[in-house]
């Protein structure tokens, strides 16, 4: 564990210490707008903690937001298992909570890092605040292990910031109280939209010049991301089959920033590496990902964050999962579930590329996940909470 020198954004000692935990790149994207909002609140002494679960990708996102962690647990190891992550985060966060004695521990979403950090706070009888609370696929194995993680965090959290009305209703349906008394459920919108609008508003058009491939303006760009654990093995084999068939059309260019996990990277490179119209590139930074989404004709993904972001940019989204905890985009018609079935993926892409009316109905900007002010709402909620508990 490394505790860094005092962060220059903290200008004064505040009343209530708060630990805000970030593990993966998607967590960083969605938590850093909250960090920026809380840095401006004199009522809290914020300490940003990273577990280092996505080391290289995490550093990129911090740089985009001109931020840095206060404490780096540096827990990343090659080929670590879920049990490894859980035990390391639980042990290190328990020690950190004992040292800093925070009035609140904040986590985001559904990662194993978030679950273990929340559990450490629960063991120490410290209140938990959960950003992006209440999402449910209602299938404990899909996504796996994320559905369990989010349920377990919400079971012990006192402050629950739900991105949508549906997420808030999920929370109300489950249990009315937390282990610390009455729960506070607030609909805030999704902080990922805050981050997206911040970055998209600053795009210059030069962000893709440094990509290792040259985009062909004559071909329709299909952007692909895929990394879900439940698709390891046969699921990714079917996805690769679909991408090979889409590439064979001759009118598409597929860009796939490949996740570093060997169970994704090794399979995808072996199956698609020699196909001319499929470009497998290393993970891109967040600004480049936003620029790629903005340029793409279609987005094909299993990512939760991209399910939220691409609709805001007016891009049709095909979700390579059978169920989703983000039904709002599907309800608008701009997103569709295609699973990992080769035929469904190929047919859905083909229809979007050949049916102009269908494409137009899907390629429209919608904002079911908020208006870009979620981080401010969460910061105001935190300040209210610490003031109430300081009395």
Question: CATH number of the domain that 149 lies in?
Answer: 3.40.50.2000
- State residue 8's pLDDT score: 41
Same domain, 72 and 146: yes
For residue 358, with 0-12 CB atoms within 10 Å meaning exposed, 13-18 middle and 19 or more buried, which class applies? middle
Residue 198 in domain:
no
Q: First CA to last CA across the chain, in angstroms?
A: 34
Is the pLDDT score of 7 beyond 70? no
Same domain, 60 and 106: yes
Question: How many percent of the chain have pLDDT more than 70?
Answer: 93
Between residues 4 and 347, which one has the greater pLDDT? 347
Phi and psi torsions of 222, nearest 5°? -110, 115
- Cβ–Cβ under 8 Å, residues 3 and 49: no
pLDDT class of 350 with cuts at 50, 70, 90: very high
Q: Whole-angstrom Cα distance, residue 381 to residue 385?
A: 6
Same domain, 49 and 168: yes
Is the pLDDT score of 368 beyond 80? yes
pLDDT class of 10 with cuts at 50, 70, 90: very low
Same domain, 243 and 312: yes
Residue 201 in domain:
no
Is the pLDDT score of 138 beyond 90? yes
- Cβ–Cβ under 8 Å, residues 385 and 157: no
**Strand pairing category for 298-301 and 181-182:** unpaired
Average pLDDT, the chain: 90
DSSP three-state, residue 42: coil
For the annotated catalytic residues, the residue numbers are 110, 132, 146, 227, 229, 259
Mean pLDDT of 334-361: 97
- pLDDT tens figures, 218-257: 999 999 998 777 767 788 899 999 999 999 999 999 999 9
Residue 208 in domain:
no
Mean pLDDT of 95-124: 97
Residue 56 in domain:
yes
Same domain, 244 and 114: no
- What are the strands, taking DSSP E only, across the chain? 2-3, 16-22, 44-50, 71-72, 104-108, 128-131, 159-162, 177-178, 181-182, 184-187, 220-225, 252-257, 278-281, 298-301, 317-319, 335-337
Same domain, 184 and 300: no
- pLDDT tens figures, 57-80: 788 889 888 999 999 998 878 778
**Strand pairing category for 177-178 and 181-182:** antiparallel
pLDDT class of 11 with cuts at 50, 70, 90: very low
pLDDT class of 163 with cuts at 50, 70, 90: very high
Same domain, 162 and 124: yes
- State residue 235's pLDDT score: 87
Q: Whole-angstrom Cα distance, residue 1 to residue 96?
A: 9
Same domain, 95 and 40: yes
Between residues 263 and 192, which one has the greater pLDDT? 192
- What are the strands, taking DSSP E only, across 84-219? 104-108, 128-131, 159-162, 177-178, 181-182, 184-187
Q: Tokens 């930074």, residue?
A: 285
**Nearest to residue 289, comparing CAs of 278, 276, 303?**
303
Is the pLDDT score of 156 beyond 70? yes
Residue 215 in domain:
no
Mean pLDDT of 313-337: 95
Q: Enter the pTM of the model.
A: 0.85
Quote the domain boundaries for residue 274.
220-362
Each residue of 133-144: b (16+ CB within 10 Å) or e? bbbbbeeeebbb
- State residue 5's pLDDT score: 47
- State residue 357's pLDDT score: 97
Residue 213 in domain:
no
**Number of domains comprising the chain:** 2
Mean pLDDT of 175-181: 58
Q: Is the dihedral of CA 47, 51, 53, 55 positive or negative?
A: positive
Is the pLDDT score of 113 beyond 90? yes
Give the other-Cβ count within 10 Å of 297's Cβ. Answer: 18
| Of the listed ranges 27-31, 54-58, 372-376, the one predicted with least confidence | 54-58
- State residue 186's pLDDT score: 97
Mean pLDDT of 135-163: 95
pLDDT class of 181 with cuts at 50, 70, 90: low
Is the pLDDT score of 390 beyond 80? no
Same domain, 233 and 146: no
Residue 328 in domain:
yes
Same domain, 377 and 320: no
Same domain, 113 and 227: no
Residue 207 in domain:
no
Taking only Cα atoms into account, the Rg of the chain, rounded to an integer number of angstroms, comes to: 21
Same domain, 126 and 105: yes
- Cβ–Cβ under 8 Å, residues 271 and 240: yes
């Amino acid at each position: 564990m490394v505790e860094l020198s005092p962060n220059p954004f903290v200008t004064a000692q505040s009343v209530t210490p708060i630990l805000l935990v970030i593990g993966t790149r998607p967590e960083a994207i969605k938590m850093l707008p909250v960090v920026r909002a809380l840095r401006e609140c004199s009522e809290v002494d914020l300490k940003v903690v990273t577990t280092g679960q996505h080391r290289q990708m995490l550093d990129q996102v911090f740089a985009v937001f001109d931020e840095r962690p206060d404490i780096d647990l540096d827990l990343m190891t090659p080929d670590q298992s879920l049990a490894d992550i859980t035990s390391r985060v639980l042990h290190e966060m328990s020690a950190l909570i004992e040292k800093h004695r925070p009035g609140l521990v904040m986590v985001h979403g559904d990662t194993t890092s978030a679950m273990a950090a929340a559990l450490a706070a629960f063991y120490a009888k410290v209140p938990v605040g959960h950003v992006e609370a209440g999402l449910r696929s209602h299938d404990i194995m899909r996504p796996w292990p994320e559905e369990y993680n989010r349920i377990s965090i919400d079971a012990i959290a006192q402050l629950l910031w739900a991105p949508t009305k549906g997420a808030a209703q999920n929370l109300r349906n489950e249990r009315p109280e937390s282990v610390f008394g009455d729960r506070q459920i607030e609909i805030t919108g999704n902080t990922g939209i805050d981050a997206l609008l911040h970055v998209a508003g600053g795009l210059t058009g030069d962000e893709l010049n440094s990509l290792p491939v040259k985009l062909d303006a004559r071909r329709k760009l299909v952007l692909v991301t895929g990394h879900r654990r439940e698709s390891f093995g046969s699921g990714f084999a079917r996805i690769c089959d679909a991408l090979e068939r889409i590439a064979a059309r001759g009118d598409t260019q597929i860009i796939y920033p490949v996740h570093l996990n060997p169970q994704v990277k090794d399979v995808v490179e072996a199956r698609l590496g020699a196909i001319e119209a499929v470009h497998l590139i290393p993970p891109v930074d967040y600004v480049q990902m936003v620029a790629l989404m903005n340029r793409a004709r279609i987005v094909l993904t299993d990512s939760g964050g991209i399910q939220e972001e691409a609709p805001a940019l007016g891009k049709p989204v095909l979700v390579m999962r059978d169920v989703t905890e983000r039904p709002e985009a599907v309800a608008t018609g701009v997103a569709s579930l295609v699973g990992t079935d080769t035929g469904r993926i190929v047919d859905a892409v083909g229809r979007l590329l050949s049916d102009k009316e269908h494409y137009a109905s899907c390629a429209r900007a919608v904002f079911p996940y908020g208006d870009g002010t979620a981080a401010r709402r969460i910061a105001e909620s935190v300040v209210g909470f610490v003031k109430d508990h300081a009395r």
